[in-house]
Structure 1
């Protein structure tokens, strides 16, 4: 019987906290990990875009979102490759990050979800909502929240 791989989902957006969480995860969970996928599929990335609509006003927004998604995806793949982690699938999904992450965890039967922490105070967190808090309470797997250490002056 073939051994089933564990699935780890890392939520990434275009900010330093997300990329720090990705690097921290790779450094702590994939140390000395030098696995290159042996399958013949050289396309290890999966990109999915869900359109915002056909109205002209949304065309520019959709183009910008695709550019941002491509930039984030490229940077995430560069970080993974620099750490010799190449068995990676990147999926770009539109929607509320809280719900999207919980849905992806369920869809992939992930055993862990990793998210970064913005370090917002109580008021900002209350107004904006906390993706990590929502996921900790609603994701059907363990949730690890990676906080970037504060730099002491």
Structure 2
């Protein structure tokens, strides 16, 4: 007998920008039936900033070796905790938007560089389609620094859809 066709898995990468929420809403309005028919949830992924760890060096008692010892200051811990809470709130908001549209969603967050983390998550979860909001940057900045969307088109192991918010 033939193999069963692979069920599509969609992932929307979000952040606090309006363009990522627009992309999520676009997916829910235009791909809702496909998502529900696949039997898979809509994966919502967010990248948190990496934890700020200060490296302090001290002398060990044996042979006076210098060993790095990560130390998190109260301010850094507070900022890291705040980032996690903000991320959790953004993901919950996105999940609630999905529920309102009748789509089951699963949220995921990882800390690190967004370009690497998103590509890794796509591969790890066998995503078929990555959906991104068009970054809200000016034409000059885009010309000078490039477009992060093109990074995902070139490096993600799936198809990439960039949803542009109307002006």
Same fold (TM over 0.5): yes
Structure 2 unpaired stretches of 5+: 54-70
Structure 1 unpaired stretches of 5+: 38-43
CA contact (8 A) 2:12 2:44 kept: no
The alignment partner of 1:113 has SS state of strand
Q: Does 1:72 align with 2:90?
A: yes
Q: Calculate the aligned-residue CA RMSD, in Å.
A: 3.0
- The 10-residue stretch of structure 1 (74-83 or 52-61) with the greater mean CA deviation from structure 2: 52-61
Residue correspondence of structure 1 range 109-128 to structure 2 within 5 A: 109-126=126-143
The alignment partner of 2:107 has SS state of coil
TM-score (norm 2): 0.72
Deviations 1:82-131 (A, max 9, x none): 10002x21001111111111111111111110000124233322555532
Residue correspondence of structure 1 range 3-152 to structure 2 within 5 A: 4-31=6-33, 51-53=51-53, 54-56=71-73, 57-86=75-104, 88-126=105-143, 129-150=146-167
Query: CA 1:128 to 1:46, structure 2 compared with 1: closer, same or farther past 3 Å?
Result: closer
Find runs of 4+ consecutive structure 1 residues off by over 6 angstroms: 32-35, 44-50
Deviations 1:20-54 (A, max 9, x none): 1001011100049768x8xxxxxx99999875445
TM-score (norm 1): 0.78
How many residues are treated as equivalent by the alignment?
A: 142
1:4 CA drift (Å): 4.5
Counterpart Cα distance in 2 of 1:115 and 1:103: 15
